[in-house]
Amino acid sequence: MSDPQDSPAPIRVWDLPTRLVHWLLFVLVTFSLVTGLLGDPSLIENHMLVGQITLVLVVFRIVWGLVGSPRSRFADFVPAPGRVIAYLKTGRAATPGHNPLGAFSVLGLLVLLLAQTVTGLFANDDIFNEGPLAGSVDKGVSDWMTGIHELSGNLLIALIALHVLVVVVHRLKGDNLILAMITGRKPRQDAAWEDRPYASSLLAAVLLAASGVLVWLLVTL
Ligand code: HEM
Ligand code: HEM
């Protein structure tokens, strides 16, 4: 008979705010990509509203990466070169959070989402729709921002496709990262991994509200 000690208790990895933000980003960014690509003028108001909510989530996730739960912090998962080399050699990650390669994709996604949402604020569609800050810059600058918005939209599609592919490959190899992004917990695969506590969800709510106010102040300048 197997000893219960053989399968140690799962450890906490992703707190509730990180999980909620992830699945909200999935829904909202999918909506923004579809409405952007359809180019239907009747959908652009919703596109811009959802895009601005996405910006709030991205600002929150960046702040949470500095002061949030230990595993959600950039300092925990953004790897020094030595950690990348060790991971490539052994396949074993030093922390239960994003592995060193996953960390690059997470940073890439956040940077692209920031670029996408900020350029959207200055974009125009040459008809009668424009982002809330387009009127505060020259038409040439707004057109340039629109070009970047289109380019980063395409890069985003490519990175999201790669992101989902990598997650599915992990799943096929028996590493269920999707379940961890739902429950927040992972099986302990390494005795050295520590079970660190989550930060306060109240703090997360306050920071989310502050991110919302910041974006609102920005777009109503
Ligand atoms: C629009 C689509 C998506 C976007 C923009 C997106 C974005 C992100 C971001 C920013 C992270 C980092 C999470 C954090 O540290 O806060 C992440 C992680 C993750 N995403 Fe997504 N995601 C998308 C779709 C999906 C889908 C469809 C799945 C499931 C098949 C998925 C599964 C995961 C998993 C499992 C992780 C954690 C990876 C790890 O453990 O290192 N994502 N995603
Ligand atoms: C992650 C969030 C967003 C995504 C994924 C996204 C994606 C897209 C895409 C794919 C297009 C079509 C580009 C093309 O014509 O090839 C587009 C157009 C547009 N977006 Fe966004 N967008 C986002 C956020 C925003 C925001 C926050 C605003 C403004 C508040 C905005 C304003 C616009 C405008 C005005 C257009 C029309 C530009 C044109 O006709 O080329 N977007 N967006």
Q: Are 175 and 52 in contact (CB under 8 A)?
A: no
Give CA–CA dist 27/217, Å, rounded. 25
63 exposure class (CB count in 10 Å sphere: 0-12, 13-18, 19+): middle
Q: What is the mean pLDDT of residues 55-79?
A: 96
Reported as a single tens digit per residue, the pLDDT across 154-198 is 999 999 999 999 999 999 999 999 999 999 999 988 888 888 999
Q: Which residue's CA lies nearest to atom 31 of ligand 1?
A: 164
Q: Nearest residue CA, atom 32 of ligand 1?
A: 178
Report the chain's mean pLDDT, rounded to a whole number: 93
What pLDDT was estimated at residue 4?
Answer: 46
Residue 128 has φ and ψ, to the nearest 5°, of: -135, 10
pLDDT band at 94 (very low <50, low <70, confident <90, very high): confident
pLDDT of 219 higher than 60: yes
Look-up: residue for tokens 């974009």? 123
State if residue 73 touches ligand 1 by the CB under 6 angstroms criterion.
Answer: no
For residue 68, which phi and psi values (nearest 5 degrees)? -85, -160
Query: From atom 43 of ligand 2, which residue's Cα is the shortest distance away?
Result: 36
pLDDT in tens, 122-135: 999 888 789 999 99
- DSSP string covering 74-141: HHHHSPPHHHHHHHHHH---SSSSS-HHHHHHHHHHHHHHHHHHHHHHH-B-SSS-B-TTGGGS-HHH
CA of 221 to the centre of ligand 1 (A): 32
Ligand 2 lining (C-beta closer than 6 Å)? 29, 32-33, 36-37, 39, 47-48, 51-52, 54-55, 113, 116-117, 120-121, 123-125, 129-132, 146, 149-150, 153, 156
Instruction: Domains for the chain: give ranges and CATH numbers.
Output: 15-219 (1.20.950.20)
Per-residue confidence (pLDDT) for residue 82, from 0 to 100: 87
pLDDT of residue 2: 42
Per-residue model confidence as pLDDT tens digits over 4-20: 445 668 899 999 999 99
- CA 177 to ligand 1 center in whole angstroms: 9
Please check whether residue 156 is in contact with residue 33, taking contact to mean a CB–CB distance below 8 angstroms.
Answer: yes
For the residues 105-119, what does the mean pLDDT come to?
97
Residue 204 Cα to ligand 2 midpoint, Å, equals 28
